[in-house]
Amino acid sequence: MASNQPIVIYAPKCIDLNNSTSFIRVFNFIFGLSGKQKPHYHFAFQKVERCDVTGVLLVYKVLEFSVSNQCFSAPTHDIVYNDYLKECISEYGFSDLIKSLMNTPNSIDLKPYKKLKVLSDEKVLIAPIALIRDDSSHSLDIIKTQYVPIISDFYSDDKVQQMILGVFTEVMHNFWAHATVDSKSIIVGYGTKQYFEIVCCDNGLGIDGTMKYRFSSKDSKRLICKAMENGVTSKVNTSHMGYGLWYINEVVTRSKGTLLIISNSVIYQNDRGKIRVQNCPFWKGCVVSVKLPLVFPVSVRDISVCSNQEVKINFV
């Protein structure tokens, strides 16, 4: 006789950028459960004591994948009993969205997904935007009507504005290019007067996954590095110039910021110009997190598209 005792999956204490692989290691088993509708699963979040914008987005995508792909039958969670985590989710604008995922375990309610709002006060700017694949004009309209005016009001320095909007747009375009089988991704901008973070994650093919269609190499580490080169694109016979990831990487290096990309089983890290590439726990698709200090803003005019500067990469 099958046991009715719940299978409890405990989230780690820290769900943030620095501990993202720990969270992925715990929850990536769901990627093998599409259509299984496994019963008696409980997700325990009561031990979480640190979370950031990357962590909230990872939690959302794990729950969204499990619902969209019917991995579980009536799963439960205890997010509402962790006041700290509940406050974090609310702060980044995800409360209604995550609540709707658990209230409708076999379908996605798109109303809270499409109603994500760009918010700001004197100290913090938070900007979650839904990346709706079949309606890209939705995201572009939000950037034009909400994002640009708020960025302009929040940051007085024109160069800071250009850097943020340039990187944000390139990250967004990259996800439209690579997340071909994921229609419910979200990109989030989180800014203070000292720094700006841009985070996005999907459950698509991943950067190395799309690169394999063009390049014969099966080495995912090499493919990720290839994708970061200027002029390299996985989209042949299109208008894609292979400029976006290279540009993001250049801005991160020159502004002394950080870039983390997790694509399937590979992690690419640029920490103030120091590049490291290694294997990591499997995440179906891609996670991109960019943190830009605003002390040394970099605009597109500062970066030569023809630059052929050699980058030293540490393969681990």
- Write the burial class of residue 310 (CB in 10 Å: 0-12 exposed, 13-18 middle, 19+ buried): exposed
Closest CA to 149 of 137, 172, 168, 165: 165
Two tokens, residue 169: 């747009």
Number of residues that make up the chain: 316
Instruction: Note whether 15 and 55 are within 8 A (CB).
Output: yes
pLDDT (tens, 9 = 90+) of the chain, 316 residues, equals 456 788 999 999 999 999 999 999 999 999 999 999 999 999 999 999 999 999 999 999 999 999 989 999 988 889 989 999 999 999 888 988 888 887 665 566 667 777 787 778 888 888 888 776 655 566 677 777 778 888 999 999 999 999 999 999 888 887 776 555 666 788 899 999 999 999 999 998 888 888 876 766 778 898 898 888 886 554 544 444 456 899 999 999 999 999 999 999 999 999 999 999 999 999 999 999 999 999 989 887 788 654 445 555 554 4
Whether residue 62 is found in the same domain as residue 159: no
Q: Interior CA angle at 40 toward 37 and 45, to 5°?
A: 105
The model's pTM is 0.88
Query: Do 88 and 149 fall within a single domain?
Result: no
Contact 82, 66 (CB under 8 A): no
Q: How many helices (H) and strands (E) does the chain have?
A: 11, 14
DSSP 39-69: ESEEEE-TT--EE-HHHHHHHHHHHHHHHHT
The CATH number that applies at residue 305 is 3.30.565.10
Cross-strand pairs, 191: 125, 196
Report how far residue 277's alpha carbon sits from residue 292's, in angstroms, rounded to the nearest whole number.
20
Task: Verify that 260 and 130 share a domain, yes or no.
Answer: yes
Residue 299's nearest CA partner among 199, 200, 197, 159 is 159
- Which residue range is the domain that position 244 belongs to? 117-316
**Whether residues 229 and 106 fall in one domain:** no
Residue 29 burial (CB count, 10 A): 11
CA-based nearest residue to 198, from 227, 179, 172, 160: 172
Same domain, 235 and 315: yes
Closest Cα to residue 52, out of 11, 92, 3? 92
Domain C-terminal end among 99, 115, 131: 115
